[in-house]
């Protein structure tokens, strides 16, 4: 099998696809509108769909922050709402009781 995930990022073809994606998205993050630190995200990860690596329909422009969130979500690292609620409930229980005056 060919296309290793990483190698596409150093190709000329990716440089071009990335530029086209950014231009299409008007050089702004599609999530928050930021124009700083723009990166191009694959909707379907390259390792899952290498044939879509340069397909503009599979690309969207994100700032680095949004990209990180997106990537973490993909990797299942972001806790879902239920888990977050559970954690804060636990934190609440662990908090020492306020002293009565």
User: What does the binding site for Zn ion look like in residue numbers (CB under 5 A)?
Assistant: 29, 31-32, 34, 63, 66
Integer Cα distance of 77 and 17 in angstroms: 28
Nearer to Zn ion, 34 or 71 (CB): 34
User: Among residues 23 and 64, whose Cβ is nearest to Zn ion?
Assistant: 64
- Minimum Å distance from CB 67 to Zn ion? 8
> C-beta of 83: minimal distance to Zn ion in Å?
24
Q: Which residues pair with 42 in a beta bridge?
A: 59
Nearer to Zn ion, 51 or 68 (CB): 68
Structural contact between residues 84 and 61, judged by C-beta atoms closer than 8 angstroms: no
Going by C-alpha positions, the residue among 3, 65, 72 that lies closest to residue 34 is 65
Q: Distance (Å, rounded) from C-alpha 16 to C-alpha 99?
A: 64
**Closest approach of Zn ion to the CB of residue 28, in Å:** 8
């Amino acid at each position: 099998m060919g296309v290793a995930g990483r190698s596409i990022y150093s190709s000329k073809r990716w440089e071009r696809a990335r530029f086209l994606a950014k231009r299409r998205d008007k050089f702004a993050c599609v999530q928050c509108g930021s124009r700083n630190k723009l990166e191009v995200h694959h909707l379907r990860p390259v390792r899952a769909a290498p044939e879509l690596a340069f397909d503009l329909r599979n690309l969207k422009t994100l700032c680095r922050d949004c990209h990180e969130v997106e990537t973490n979500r993909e990797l299942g690292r972001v806790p879902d709402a239920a888990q977050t609620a559970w954690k804060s409930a636990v934190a609440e229980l662990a908090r020492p009781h306020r002293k009565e005056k």
